[in-house]
Amino acid sequence: MPEGLQRVGVLCSGPDILAEHGVDADALARELGLDPAALRNPDAFIPYTAMGRYVEACARRTGLAHFGLLVGLRATTAALGVVGALMRNAPDLGRAMADLVTHQPRYVRGAAIFLFRAEAEFMFGYVSYQPGTPGRDQIQAGALAGGMRLVAELTGIAPRAVMLAQAAPADPALRQLYARCLGAPVQFDSEISALAFPRAQLRLPVIGADPTKRAELEKLILNYAPMGALPSFAQSVRHALVSRIAWNRCTLAETARLFDLHPRAMERRLQAAGTSFAALRDEARFEVSCQLLSATGLSLGRIGAAIGYAEQAVFSRAFRRWSGVAPSAWRRANALQG
Protein backbone atom coordinates (compact mmCIF):
# COMPACT_ATOMS: atom_id res chain seq x y z
CA MET A 1 0.00 0.00 0.00
CA PRO A 2 1.39 3.48 -0.86
CA GLU A 3 2.41 5.74 2.01
CA GLY A 4 -0.58 7.78 3.16
CA LEU A 5 -0.52 11.43 4.13
CA GLN A 6 -2.01 13.18 7.15
CA ARG A 7 -3.06 16.82 7.48
CA VAL A 8 -1.24 18.22 10.53
CA GLY A 9 -4.44 19.71 11.97
CA VAL A 10 -4.71 19.13 15.71
CA LEU A 11 -1.12 17.85 15.81
CA CYS A 12 0.07 21.46 15.53
CA SER A 13 -0.40 21.70 19.31
CA GLY A 14 2.45 19.21 19.73
CA PRO A 15 5.29 21.77 19.65
CA ASP A 16 3.56 23.84 22.35
CA ILE A 17 3.16 20.81 24.61
CA LEU A 18 6.81 19.91 24.07
CA ALA A 19 7.90 23.45 24.97
CA GLU A 20 5.76 23.38 28.11
CA HIS A 21 7.73 20.33 29.22
CA GLY A 22 11.16 21.73 28.42
CA VAL A 23 11.75 19.98 25.09
CA ASP A 24 13.14 21.79 22.04
CA ALA A 25 10.34 21.04 19.57
CA ASP A 26 12.21 22.23 16.49
CA ALA A 27 15.29 20.16 17.29
CA LEU A 28 13.17 17.06 17.83
CA ALA A 29 11.37 17.60 14.52
CA ARG A 30 14.68 17.90 12.67
CA GLU A 31 16.00 14.74 14.35
CA LEU A 32 13.03 12.92 12.84
CA GLY A 33 13.55 14.44 9.39
CA LEU A 34 10.47 16.65 9.68
CA ASP A 35 10.07 20.34 8.90
CA PRO A 36 9.46 22.20 12.20
CA ALA A 37 7.36 24.80 10.37
CA ALA A 38 5.07 22.11 8.95
CA LEU A 39 4.33 20.82 12.44
CA ARG A 40 3.04 24.27 13.42
CA ASN A 41 0.85 24.64 10.34
CA PRO A 42 -2.52 22.83 10.56
CA ASP A 43 -2.85 22.90 6.76
CA ALA A 44 0.49 21.19 6.11
CA PHE A 45 0.77 17.47 5.29
CA ILE A 46 3.18 14.86 6.61
CA PRO A 47 3.40 11.09 5.99
CA TYR A 48 1.05 9.15 8.24
CA THR A 49 3.87 6.95 9.54
CA ALA A 50 5.92 10.10 10.27
CA MET A 51 3.09 11.28 12.50
CA GLY A 52 3.38 8.00 14.40
CA ARG A 53 7.14 8.36 14.79
CA TYR A 54 6.66 11.94 15.94
CA VAL A 55 4.12 11.29 18.70
CA GLU A 56 6.08 8.24 19.84
CA ALA A 57 9.26 10.33 20.08
CA CYS A 58 7.37 13.11 21.87
CA ALA A 59 6.09 10.67 24.49
CA ARG A 60 9.58 9.27 24.99
CA ARG A 61 11.34 12.65 25.15
CA THR A 62 8.84 14.21 27.58
CA GLY A 63 8.38 11.08 29.66
CA LEU A 64 4.62 11.47 29.17
CA ALA A 65 3.09 8.11 28.29
CA HIS A 66 -0.17 9.97 27.60
CA PHE A 67 1.31 12.54 25.19
CA GLY A 68 -1.20 11.60 22.48
CA LEU A 69 -4.06 12.29 24.88
CA LEU A 70 -2.68 15.75 25.61
CA VAL A 71 -2.60 16.56 21.90
CA GLY A 72 -6.15 15.33 21.41
CA LEU A 73 -7.42 17.37 24.35
CA ARG A 74 -6.48 20.54 22.46
CA ALA A 75 -8.61 19.63 19.44
CA THR A 76 -11.04 22.20 18.08
CA THR A 77 -13.20 22.36 14.99
CA ALA A 78 -11.04 25.33 13.91
CA ALA A 79 -8.02 23.00 13.66
CA LEU A 80 -9.95 20.89 11.14
CA GLY A 81 -10.25 23.76 8.68
CA VAL A 82 -13.18 23.79 6.27
CA VAL A 83 -14.42 20.39 7.48
CA GLY A 84 -14.46 21.68 11.04
CA ALA A 85 -16.36 24.78 9.94
CA LEU A 86 -18.93 22.57 8.22
CA MET A 87 -19.34 20.57 11.44
CA ARG A 88 -19.57 23.74 13.53
CA ASN A 89 -22.59 24.84 11.49
CA ALA A 90 -24.37 21.49 11.23
CA PRO A 91 -27.99 21.37 12.41
CA ASP A 92 -27.34 18.55 14.89
CA LEU A 93 -24.62 16.31 16.26
CA GLY A 94 -25.47 13.44 13.93
CA ARG A 95 -24.97 15.59 10.86
CA ALA A 96 -21.73 17.03 12.26
CA MET A 97 -20.32 13.55 12.90
CA ALA A 98 -21.40 12.43 9.44
CA ASP A 99 -19.60 15.46 7.97
CA LEU A 100 -16.33 14.34 9.55
CA VAL A 101 -16.75 10.71 8.47
CA THR A 102 -17.66 11.71 4.91
CA HIS A 103 -14.96 14.30 4.33
CA GLN A 104 -12.03 12.96 6.38
CA PRO A 105 -10.69 11.00 3.35
CA ARG A 106 -10.12 14.34 1.62
CA TYR A 107 -7.25 15.11 3.99
CA VAL A 108 -6.19 11.81 5.60
CA ARG A 109 -4.89 8.65 3.89
CA GLY A 110 -3.94 6.08 6.48
CA ALA A 111 -6.84 6.05 8.93
CA ALA A 112 -10.62 6.10 8.97
CA ILE A 113 -13.15 7.70 11.28
CA PHE A 114 -16.40 5.82 11.67
CA LEU A 115 -19.89 6.45 13.03
CA PHE A 116 -21.89 3.34 13.89
CA ARG A 117 -25.51 3.56 14.97
CA ALA A 118 -26.78 0.75 17.19
CA GLU A 119 -30.27 0.47 18.65
CA ALA A 120 -29.58 2.37 21.88
CA GLU A 121 -26.22 4.04 21.28
CA PHE A 122 -23.83 5.28 18.66
CA MET A 123 -20.10 4.72 18.38
CA PHE A 124 -17.75 7.40 17.09
CA GLY A 125 -14.35 5.86 16.49
CA TYR A 126 -11.01 5.69 14.73
CA VAL A 127 -9.00 2.96 13.03
CA SER A 128 -5.59 3.16 11.38
CA TYR A 129 -4.89 1.16 8.24
CA GLN A 130 -1.42 2.35 7.17
CA PRO A 131 0.78 -0.75 7.60
CA GLY A 132 3.81 -0.46 9.83
CA THR A 133 2.75 2.72 11.60
CA PRO A 134 4.59 3.23 14.90
CA GLY A 135 3.01 4.94 17.89
CA ARG A 136 -0.49 3.64 17.20
CA ASP A 137 -1.35 3.68 20.90
CA GLN A 138 -0.57 7.40 21.01
CA ILE A 139 -2.45 8.08 17.77
CA GLN A 140 -5.57 6.16 18.81
CA ALA A 141 -5.76 7.69 22.27
CA GLY A 142 -5.21 11.15 20.80
CA ALA A 143 -7.90 10.59 18.18
CA LEU A 144 -10.45 9.62 20.83
CA ALA A 145 -9.50 12.55 23.04
CA GLY A 146 -9.90 14.79 20.00
CA GLY A 147 -13.29 13.28 19.23
CA MET A 148 -14.38 13.83 22.82
CA ARG A 149 -13.34 17.49 22.66
CA LEU A 150 -15.10 18.05 19.32
CA VAL A 151 -18.36 16.61 20.63
CA ALA A 152 -18.06 18.74 23.77
CA GLU A 153 -17.47 21.87 21.67
CA LEU A 154 -20.46 21.15 19.45
CA THR A 155 -22.99 20.09 22.09
CA GLY A 156 -21.47 20.17 25.58
CA ILE A 157 -21.90 16.43 26.22
CA ALA A 158 -19.42 13.73 27.28
CA PRO A 159 -19.23 10.07 26.19
CA ARG A 160 -20.94 7.32 28.17
CA ALA A 161 -17.99 4.96 27.72
CA VAL A 162 -14.67 4.71 25.89
CA MET A 163 -13.21 1.63 24.19
CA LEU A 164 -9.51 1.40 23.31
CA ALA A 165 -7.98 -1.34 21.17
CA GLN A 166 -4.82 -1.48 23.24
CA ALA A 167 -3.69 -3.10 26.46
CA ALA A 168 -4.30 -1.28 29.71
CA PRO A 169 -1.28 0.62 31.09
CA ALA A 170 0.44 -1.28 33.89
CA ASP A 171 0.36 1.81 36.12
CA PRO A 172 -3.08 2.19 37.82
CA ALA A 173 -2.56 5.95 38.04
CA LEU A 174 -2.14 6.12 34.26
CA ARG A 175 -5.31 4.10 33.75
CA GLN A 176 -7.18 6.59 35.94
CA LEU A 177 -5.62 9.46 34.00
CA TYR A 178 -6.98 8.03 30.74
CA ALA A 179 -10.48 7.94 32.23
CA ARG A 180 -10.19 11.53 33.48
CA CYS A 181 -8.87 12.80 30.15
CA LEU A 182 -11.46 10.95 28.08
CA GLY A 183 -14.37 11.84 30.34
CA ALA A 184 -15.67 8.29 30.89
CA PRO A 185 -14.63 4.81 32.02
CA VAL A 186 -12.16 3.24 29.58
CA GLN A 187 -12.50 -0.36 28.41
CA PHE A 188 -8.97 -1.38 27.40
CA ASP A 189 -8.35 -4.52 25.32
CA SER A 190 -11.39 -3.71 23.18
CA GLU A 191 -11.84 -4.81 19.58
CA ILE A 192 -12.31 -1.18 18.50
CA SER A 193 -11.26 2.31 19.55
CA ALA A 194 -14.40 4.39 19.94
CA LEU A 195 -16.49 6.72 22.08
CA ALA A 196 -20.00 5.53 22.99
CA PHE A 197 -22.96 7.89 23.43
CA PRO A 198 -26.72 7.38 23.84
CA ARG A 199 -28.18 7.29 20.33
CA ALA A 200 -30.76 9.97 21.15
CA GLN A 201 -27.92 12.49 21.50
CA LEU A 202 -27.35 12.42 17.73
CA ARG A 203 -30.36 14.74 17.56
CA LEU A 204 -28.85 17.36 19.87
CA PRO A 205 -28.54 20.75 18.13
CA VAL A 206 -25.07 22.12 17.48
CA ILE A 207 -24.49 25.16 19.67
CA GLY A 208 -24.42 28.39 17.65
CA ALA A 209 -24.81 26.78 14.22
CA ASP A 210 -25.52 29.19 11.34
CA PRO A 211 -27.69 27.68 8.56
CA THR A 212 -26.66 30.38 6.08
CA LYS A 213 -22.97 29.73 6.61
CA ARG A 214 -23.67 26.00 6.43
CA ALA A 215 -25.19 26.39 2.96
CA GLU A 216 -22.08 28.27 1.77
CA LEU A 217 -19.74 25.65 3.22
CA GLU A 218 -21.67 22.79 1.61
CA LYS A 219 -20.86 24.33 -1.77
CA LEU A 220 -17.24 25.00 -0.85
CA ILE A 221 -16.56 21.47 0.38
CA LEU A 222 -17.44 19.97 -3.01
CA ASN A 223 -14.16 21.27 -4.45
CA TYR A 224 -12.06 20.76 -1.31
CA ALA A 225 -9.11 18.57 -2.31
CA PRO A 226 -6.11 19.77 -0.26
CA MET A 227 -4.03 16.75 -1.28
CA GLY A 228 -4.42 17.67 -4.94
CA ALA A 229 -6.81 14.85 -5.78
CA LEU A 230 -9.64 12.98 -4.17
CA PRO A 231 -9.12 9.32 -3.20
CA SER A 232 -9.23 6.81 -6.03
CA PHE A 233 -12.14 4.38 -6.15
CA ALA A 234 -9.97 1.57 -4.75
CA GLN A 235 -8.75 3.84 -1.95
CA SER A 236 -12.33 4.77 -1.10
CA VAL A 237 -13.38 1.13 -0.95
CA ARG A 238 -10.39 0.27 1.26
CA HIS A 239 -11.25 3.16 3.57
CA ALA A 240 -14.87 2.03 3.82
CA LEU A 241 -13.93 -1.59 4.50
CA VAL A 242 -11.52 -0.81 7.34
CA SER A 243 -14.16 1.24 9.15
CA ARG A 244 -16.80 -1.51 8.75
CA ILE A 245 -14.78 -4.65 9.50
CA ALA A 246 -15.59 -4.53 13.22
CA TRP A 247 -19.32 -4.43 12.53
CA ASN A 248 -19.24 -7.40 10.13
CA ARG A 249 -20.81 -5.19 7.49
CA CYS A 250 -18.25 -5.75 4.80
CA THR A 251 -19.87 -8.05 2.26
CA LEU A 252 -19.61 -7.15 -1.41
CA ALA A 253 -23.32 -6.31 -1.55
CA GLU A 254 -23.21 -4.09 1.57
CA THR A 255 -20.12 -2.25 0.39
CA ALA A 256 -21.44 -1.77 -3.15
CA ARG A 257 -24.58 -0.23 -1.67
CA LEU A 258 -22.44 2.47 -0.02
CA PHE A 259 -21.30 3.54 -3.47
CA ASP A 260 -24.73 3.17 -5.11
CA LEU A 261 -23.38 0.39 -7.31
CA HIS A 262 -24.45 -3.11 -8.24
CA PRO A 263 -21.95 -5.63 -6.84
CA ARG A 264 -20.86 -6.68 -10.33
CA ALA A 265 -20.29 -3.05 -11.30
CA MET A 266 -18.12 -2.57 -8.22
CA GLU A 267 -16.05 -5.62 -9.08
CA ARG A 268 -15.54 -4.38 -12.64
CA ARG A 269 -14.32 -1.00 -11.41
CA LEU A 270 -11.94 -2.60 -8.95
CA GLN A 271 -10.63 -5.00 -11.59
CA ALA A 272 -9.97 -2.03 -13.86
CA ALA A 273 -7.91 -0.56 -11.01
CA GLY A 274 -5.87 -3.76 -10.75
CA THR A 275 -7.43 -5.18 -7.60
CA SER A 276 -10.59 -6.92 -6.37
CA PHE A 277 -13.06 -6.66 -3.55
CA ALA A 278 -11.77 -9.87 -1.98
CA ALA A 279 -8.18 -8.59 -2.07
CA LEU A 280 -9.11 -5.28 -0.44
CA ARG A 281 -11.18 -6.99 2.24
CA ASP A 282 -8.37 -9.42 3.01
CA GLU A 283 -5.97 -6.48 3.22
CA ALA A 284 -8.27 -4.70 5.68
CA ARG A 285 -8.81 -7.82 7.78
CA PHE A 286 -5.10 -8.54 7.90
CA GLU A 287 -4.18 -5.02 8.99
CA VAL A 288 -6.85 -4.87 11.72
CA SER A 289 -5.96 -8.35 12.99
CA CYS A 290 -2.26 -7.43 13.15
CA GLN A 291 -3.07 -4.39 15.25
CA LEU A 292 -5.21 -6.40 17.65
CA LEU A 293 -2.59 -9.16 17.90
CA SER A 294 0.25 -6.75 18.66
CA ALA A 295 -1.50 -4.18 20.85
CA THR A 296 -4.07 -6.14 22.88
CA GLY A 297 -4.36 -9.28 24.94
CA LEU A 298 -7.49 -10.43 23.13
CA SER A 299 -7.76 -14.15 22.45
CA LEU A 300 -7.35 -15.41 18.90
CA GLY A 301 -11.02 -16.35 18.91
CA ARG A 302 -12.11 -12.82 19.79
CA ILE A 303 -9.78 -11.30 17.22
CA GLY A 304 -11.07 -13.65 14.55
CA ALA A 305 -14.66 -12.80 15.47
CA ALA A 306 -13.82 -9.09 15.39
CA ILE A 307 -12.84 -9.29 11.73
CA GLY A 308 -15.65 -11.57 10.65
CA TYR A 309 -14.60 -15.19 11.32
CA ALA A 310 -16.96 -17.23 13.48
CA GLU A 311 -14.36 -19.95 14.13
CA GLN A 312 -10.81 -19.49 15.38
CA ALA A 313 -9.51 -22.23 13.08
CA VAL A 314 -10.86 -20.44 10.01
CA PHE A 315 -9.23 -17.18 11.14
CA SER A 316 -5.92 -18.95 11.76
CA ARG A 317 -5.93 -20.45 8.27
CA ALA A 318 -6.72 -17.06 6.72
CA PHE A 319 -4.00 -15.32 8.73
CA ARG A 320 -1.43 -17.92 7.71
CA ARG A 321 -2.42 -17.37 4.08
CA TRP A 322 -1.93 -13.60 4.45
CA SER A 323 1.31 -13.65 6.44
CA GLY A 324 2.89 -17.07 6.02
CA VAL A 325 2.81 -17.75 9.78
CA ALA A 326 0.21 -18.65 12.39
CA PRO A 327 -1.33 -15.71 14.29
CA SER A 328 0.12 -16.98 17.58
CA ALA A 329 3.63 -16.97 16.10
CA TRP A 330 3.10 -13.54 14.58
CA ARG A 331 1.92 -12.23 17.96
CA ARG A 332 5.01 -13.55 19.76
CA ALA A 333 7.26 -11.80 17.24
CA ASN A 334 5.37 -8.51 17.22
CA ALA A 335 3.72 -8.12 20.64
CA LEU A 336 3.52 -4.56 21.91
CA GLN A 337 5.13 -3.19 18.75
CA GLY A 338 1.90 -2.11 17.02
What is the percent of the chain with per-residue pLDDT over 70, rounded to a whole number?
99
Phi-psi map region of 281: left, alpha, beta (phi>0 left; psi -120 to 50 alpha): alpha
The dihedral region occupied by 308, where left means phi > 0, alpha psi between -120 and 50, and beta the remainder, is left
Give the Cα separation of 41 and 33 in Å (integer). Answer: 16
- Domains of the chain plus CATH, in order, are 65-203 (no CATH), 233-334 (1.10.10.60)
Contact yes or no for 278/263 (Cβ under 8 A): no
Amino acid 268: pLDDT: 97
* pLDDT tens digit sequence for 262-274: 999 999 999 999 9
pLDDT for residue 27 is more than 70: yes
Direct distance between the N- and C-terminal alpha carbons of the chain, in angstroms, rounded to an integer: 17
Residues 95-142 have pLDDT tens digits of: 999 999 999 999 999 999 999 998 899 999 999 999 889 999 999 999
**Is the pLDDT confidence value at 338 over 90?**
no
Give residue-wise pLDDT tens across range 205-231: 999 999 999 999 999 999 999 988 889
pLDDT digits (tens, 9 = 90+) for 233-273: 999 999 999 989 888 788 999 999 999 999 999 999 999 99
Pairing of strands 121-128, 111-117: antiparallel
pLDDT mean over 165-176 = 94
Q: Among 130, 177, 122, which residue's Cα sits nearest to residue 151? A: 122
Phi/psi region, residue 132 (left: phi>0; alpha: psi -120 to 50; beta: rest), is left
Region at 13 (left for phi over 0; alpha for psi -120 to 50; beta for the rest): alpha
What was the pLDDT predicted at 246? 80
pLDDT score, position 336:
59
For residues 92 and 203, the answer to whether their CB atoms sit within 8 Å is: yes
Q: 34 phi and psi, to 5 degrees?
A: -110, 155
Give the pLDDT score at 323: 96
Instruction: Round to whole Å and give the CA distance between 14 and 8.
Output: 10
SS (H, E, C) the chain: CCCCEEECHHHHHHHHHHHHCCCCHHHHHHHCCCCCCHHHCCCCEEEHHHHHHHHHHHHHHHCCCCHHHHHHCCCCCHHHHHHHHHHHCCCEHHHHHHHHHHHHHHCECCEEEEEEECCCEEEEEEEECCCCCCCHHHHHHHHHHHHHHHHHHHHCCCCCEEECCCCCCCCHHHHHHHHHHHCCCEECCCCCCEEEEEHHHHHCECCCCCHHHHHHHHHHHCCCCCCCCCCCHHHHHHHHHHHHHHHCCCCHHHHHHHCCCCHHHHHHHHHHCCCCHHHHHHHHHHHHHHHHHHHCCCCHHHHHHHCCCCCHHHHHHHHHHHHCCCHHHHHHHHCCCC
- Alpha-carbon distance of 313 to 304, in angstroms, equals 9
Instruction: Report if pTM > 0.95.
Output: no
Handedness of CA 292, 295, 299, 300 (dihedral sign): positive
- In sequence order, the 6+-apart residues with CB closer than 8 A to the CB of 235 are 105, 109
